[in-house]
Amino acid sequence: MELQTEEILRILDELEKEGCLRLCLTGGEIFMRKDFFEIYKAAKEKGFLLTLFTNGTLITEKVADFLKENPPFSIEVSLHATGEETFEKVTQGEGSFKKVLQAITLLLERNLHLVLKVTGLTVNREEILKIRSFVKELGVPFKFGESIRRRLDDSEDVFKYQLSEKELQEIEEKDTEMLKEREDRSVNTESPQCESGFFTFHIDAWGQLQLCSGNRTKSYDLRKGSFREGFYQSLPHFPCRFPKKQFTFKKEEVIPIETISSLS
């Protein structure tokens, strides 16, 4: 069973006590939770720097007005295509394209900080540069994702939609800014350093504390233990395929900076 409201509020109290600075609320779809406004307000009052990840389909006038009155640091919305047919091939949701365009309009009308992002897929590869141009015209930040993650049950069937490295490079070489971002990312690819478990962490919808949303191989149950115990004593020892950065401070001096919490 997913975390109940009171359980999430307790975890937020523990995060605040340990000095967590940034909080990213994601899903699933965050606005599916009937208690989202209550959770959001509690997090806002605690002073977290809030980022929202949403597919945009549930952003109504009421939601947009609420966010205007209680603005987050940033709102990131996935824009899979500039045309309805391709967009809904990705989402598998009839009517989702029009809902997302409406959400973008509502958020921009309220001058909220919006970021539009897309993951390159075999389904939308011909749309990537069109999306880039569309976003540039809107004058908002753009993010291009290159990799696909396993399903929550760890199945890998989704990788059939993954673009090859060559295909990704060919797309990015056609846009100066995207190419520059690619070059910047490639600087440390030979020996990536992971900060998960030291400064960042992930809490899923069932209260499982993990290294990140892409590594759920081991968890610490926040329903049975405290965040402090999980973060300081368990998380640093969880398996990760990337080498950990070497830090000179004592472990008790580490302050958790960011959590990505799955709410639905």
pLDDT digits (tens, 9 = 90+) for 141-174: 999 987 888 777 778 888 899 999 999 999 999 9
Q: How many domains does the chain have?
A: 2
Phi/psi region, residue 139 (left: phi>0; alpha: psi -120 to 50; beta: rest), is left
From the list 209, 216, 211, 214, the residue with the least C-alpha distance to 196 is 211
Instruction: Evaluate whether 90 touches 81 at the Cβ level (below 8 Å).
Output: yes
pLDDT at 89 over 60: yes
Which of residues 131, 163, 190 is at a domain's end? 190
- Beta bridge pairs of residue 39: none
Same domain, yes or no: 77 and 179:
yes
pTM over cut 0.85: yes
Which of residues 190, 207, 229 is at a domain's end? 190
Same domain, yes or no: 74 and 178:
yes
The mean predicted confidence, pLDDT, of the chain is: 90
Instruction: Evaluate whether 245 touches 193 at the Cβ level (below 8 Å).
Output: yes
Q: List the domain range (segments joined by +) for residue 221.
A: 1-54+195-264
**Residue 49 and residue 20: Cα distance in Å, rounded?**
9
- At 215 the pLDDT is 86
Residue 34 pLDDT class (50, 70, 90 cuts) = very high
- At 117 the pLDDT is 97
Same domain, yes or no: 64 and 31:
no
Within its chain, how far is the Cα of 235 from the centroid? 20
Same domain, yes or no: 139 and 64:
yes
Same domain, yes or no: 171 and 208:
no
pLDDT at 10 over 60: yes
Question: What is the arithmetic mean of pLDDT over 228-251?
Answer: 76
Which of residues 190, 215, 238 is at a domain's end? 190
Same domain, yes or no: 90 and 182:
yes
* Residue 202: Cβ-neighbour burial (10 angstroms; 0-12, 13-18, 19+): buried
Same domain, yes or no: 60 and 45:
no
Same domain, yes or no: 67 and 148:
yes
- At 261 the pLDDT is 74
CB atoms under 10 Å from CB of 45, counted, come to 11
Token readout for 78 is 């996935």
- At 241 the pLDDT is 77
More confident residue, 43 or 188: 43
Q: What CATH number is associated with residue 68?
A: 3.20.20.70
Same domain, yes or no: 80 and 174:
yes
pLDDT at 244 over 70: no
- At 191 the pLDDT is 53
Token readout for 73 is 């640091």
Same domain, yes or no: 180 and 208:
no
- How large is the greatest C-alpha to C-alpha distance in the chain, in angstroms? 54
Same domain, yes or no: 252 and 162:
no
Residue 79 pLDDT class (50, 70, 90 cuts) = very high
- Please tell me what DSSP assigns to residue 115: E
Instruction: Evaluate whether 130 touches 85 at the Cβ level (below 8 Å).
Output: no
Same domain, yes or no: 67 and 178:
yes
pLDDT at 249 over 50: no
